[in-house]
Amino acid sequence: MKTKEELLKLYNLPLDELLKEAKKYTFKEFEFCSLISARTGKCSQNCKYCSQSTHYNTSITTHPLVCVEEVIKTAKESKENGAINFAIVTSGKTPDEAKDFNELLKMIQEINKLGLKSCASIGICSPELAKQLKNAGLNRFHHNINTCKSYHGEICTTHTYEDRIETCKNIKNAGIELCCGVIIGMGETIEQRIEMALELAQIAPDSIPVNILTPIKGTPFENYFDKIDEENIIRTIAIFKIANPNSSVRLAGGKKARLSEKNIQLLIDNCIDSAIVGNYLTTTGFSPDNDKEMVKKASKTLKTL
pLDDT (mean) for 287-296: 86
Q: What are the tens digits of pLDDT across the range 117-150?
A: 999 999 999 999 999 999 999 999 999 999 999 9
CA distances from 221 to 50, 212, 254 (A): 9, 12, 14
Q: Which CATH superfamily is domain 4-296 in?
A: Aldolase class I (3.20.20.70)
- The residues spanned by each domain of the chain are 4-296
Inter-residue contact 91 to 52 (CB < 8 Å):
yes
Could you tell me where the beta strands, DSSP code E, fall in the chain? 29-39, 85-90, 117-121, 140-142, 177-179, 182-184, 207-212, 248-251, 274-276, 301-302
Q: What are the tens digits of pLDDT across the range 13-37?
A: 999 999 999 999 999 999 999 999 9
How high is the pLDDT of residue 94? Answer: 84
With bands split at pLDDT 50, 70 and 90, how would you rate the model's confidence at 289?
A: confident
20-38 exposure pattern, b = at least 16 Cβ within 10 A, e = fewer: ebbeebbbeebbbbbbbbb
How large a percentage of the chain has pLDDT more than 70? 96
Residues with Cβ within 8 Å of residue 97, at least 6 apart in sequence = 44, 123
Rg of the chain over Cα atoms, rounded to whole angstroms, equals 18
